């Protein structure tokens, strides 16, 4: 895309979108250009429509993935090319909400045991024990770990919001063991291959996938599964939704409420109004006289 890519990248920054969103939108726009091998400025509504149909009919993209491509093309034409009329018609495909598979405490232990380094164990424990997104774990700095107050300072989380979350004792011990072994240089707690860079989410994802296979866990496990487990296990232990919302960094309580739907333990603790009804006597079978009358 050349200069157009540079302009789109600058526009995305000016809109204040996250780095991950910027990368994703640029990747989707590049796929659109590669599909037609033409400049976006030379195309319009028809090409956009045909490309989105191609994603549905040929690529068989799920609604959530389709929506990302649609958002990218809306941005490309509405802001970068300043031709909003070409994409004003694009809608948002409804995404079916599925309940995630929740790892048990025993499965978390199995996963940790199969990780090949203290660094990976500390990363997974941070995601599970503190409820961090993997992107938040990868960006942690040494100064963010407050062992005196037993909290973690999460900087620039989703929506560019800061928050504090809990620092479990087991995580703190793992971090100390990792520090003694690795002695990370620079502010990053989990640096990439070279000092001054942060560990990539892709590396963590690959390590978790391999550990899941070795542990023979049949559930679909992703880095975000650890955050799901954190929320569900806290709810089952009696943590209220408002506290959980703060720990997870959710802007809306509605996002947090879905974990109550996931946890069978929370559902079992809920009393049905049917259990408050008075006992009723079982209906008696009709007598022989009543049967003759009805006949």
Active-site amino acid positions: 133, 158, 224, 227, 250, 259
Encoding tokens for residue 167? 């620092």
| Phi, psi of 82, rounded to the nearest 5 degrees | 55, 45
Burial of 131 (0-12, 13-18, 19+ CB in 10 A): buried
- Least Cα distance to 246 among 173, 123, 174, 152 occurs for 152
**Torsion angle, alpha carbons of 140, 127, 244, 106, to 10:** -160
Q: Where are the alpha helices (DSSP H) in the chain?
A: 3-14, 19-36, 45-57, 63-75, 105-113, 118-129, 134-138, 169-182, 201-215, 223-236, 241-248, 253-262, 264-269, 288-294
| Phi, psi of 198, rounded to the nearest 5 degrees | -100, 150
Q: What order do you get walking across the sheet with 163-166 strand by strand?
A: 145-146, 151-154, 163-166
What is the number of alpha carbons within 13 Å of residue 136 lying toward its C-beta?
Answer: 30
């Amino acid at each position: 895309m050349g200069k157009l890519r540079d302009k789109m990248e600058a526009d995305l920054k000016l809109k204040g979108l996250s780095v991950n969103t910027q990368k994703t939108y640029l990747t989707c726009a590049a796929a659109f250009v590669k599909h037609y091998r033409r400049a976006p400025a030379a195309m319009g509504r028809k090409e956009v429509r045909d490309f989105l149909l191609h994603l549905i009919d040929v690529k068989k993209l799920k609604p959530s993935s389709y929506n990302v491509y649609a958002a990218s093309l809306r941005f490309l034409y509405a802001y970068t090319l300043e031709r909003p009329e070409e994409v004003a018609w694009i809608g948002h495909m409804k995404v079916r909400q599925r309940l995630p598979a929740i790892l048990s405490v025993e499965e978390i232990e199995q996963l940790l045991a199969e990780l090949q380094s203290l660094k990976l164990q500390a990363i997974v424990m941070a995601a599970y024990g503190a409820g961090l997104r993997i992107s938040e774990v990868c960006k942690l700095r040494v100064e963010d770990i407050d062992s005196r107050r037993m909290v973690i300072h999460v900087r620039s989380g989703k929506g560019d919001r800061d928050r504090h979350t809990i620092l479990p004792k087991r995580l703190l011990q793992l971090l100390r063991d990792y520090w003694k072994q690795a002695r990370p240089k620079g502010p990053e707690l989990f640096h990439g291959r070279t000092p001054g860079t942060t560990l990539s989410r892709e590396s963590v994802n690959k390590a978790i996938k391999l550990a899941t296979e070795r542990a023979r866990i049949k559930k679909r496990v992703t880095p975000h599964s650890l955050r799901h487990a954190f929320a569900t296990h806290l709810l089952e232990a009696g943590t209220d939704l408002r506290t959980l919302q703060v720990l997870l960094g959710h802007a809306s309580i509605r996002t947090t409420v879905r974990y109550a739907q996931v946890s069978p333990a929370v559902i079992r603790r809920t009393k049905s109004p049917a259990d408050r009804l008075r006992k009723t006597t079982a209906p008696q079978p009709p007598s022989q006289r009543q049967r003759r009358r009805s006949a």
